[in-house]
Amino acid sequence: MTLTNTPRLLIVAVAAVLALAGCAGTTATSEPNATVEPAATTTAAAGLTISDPWVKAAETGMSAAFGSLENASDTDINVVSAASSAATMIELHETVEDDSGAMIMQQKEGGFIVPAGGSYELAPGANHLMLMGLTAPLTAGVEATFTLTLSDGSTFEFTAPAKDYSGANENYEETDMDMDMDK
């Protein structure tokens, strides 16, 4: 990791995260033991923001979260896992074409890479955060908080409002029968 960011720049970056996200509050955190010299070190989470986050409303079972991850740093950011109190498990999914030409969802090997100075779209029918085992009804307007863990161990937190959405009914490779996220 390059150590180019001064603490002042880090503060500016965090402020920019809050400003960009508007109603959906976001915070970037670093693990306390991850830095020996805080004054001269920055984390991957410091360069990460998300714009327009939202999650599909669902009563039970599964859902998916979307938004545009943006990397303001000059180093690629690798999202390796995600968690939320709204679901017992979250997977990082991609949607790909299988041998028969059908679009299926599967876990993204190695997680999401948000390119340096670029963005990574999470959208219905494409890459997304897959929520499994909803802990409570995710009804429209409820805000869910997500924590992304990055490859350097730092974490990035954001909240996303639930919206009613009739799409995002992708199929799964793992099962014999098609599963509908509405069910």
In the complex with other proteins, the residue whose CB is nearer, 80 or 142, is: 142
Nearer to other proteins (CB atom), residue 126 or residue 142: 142
Site residues (CB under 8 A) for other proteins, limited to 67-126: none
Q: Is 7 in the site for other proteins (CB under 8 A)?
A: no
What's the rounded Cα separation, in Å, for the pair 28 and 155? 6
Contacting other proteins within 34-73 (CB under 8 A)? 52, 54, 56-57, 66
Output 57 or 113, the one with its CB closest to other proteins: 57
Query: Nearer Cβ to other proteins, position 68 or 151?
Result: 68
Site for other proteins in 141-180 (CB under 8 A): 141-142, 161, 163-167
- Max distance between CA atoms of the chain, in angstroms, equals 54
Angle at 104 between CA 45 and CA 167, to 5 degrees: 80
Binding site for other proteins (CB under 8 A): 22-23, 52, 54, 56-57, 66, 139-142, 161, 163-167
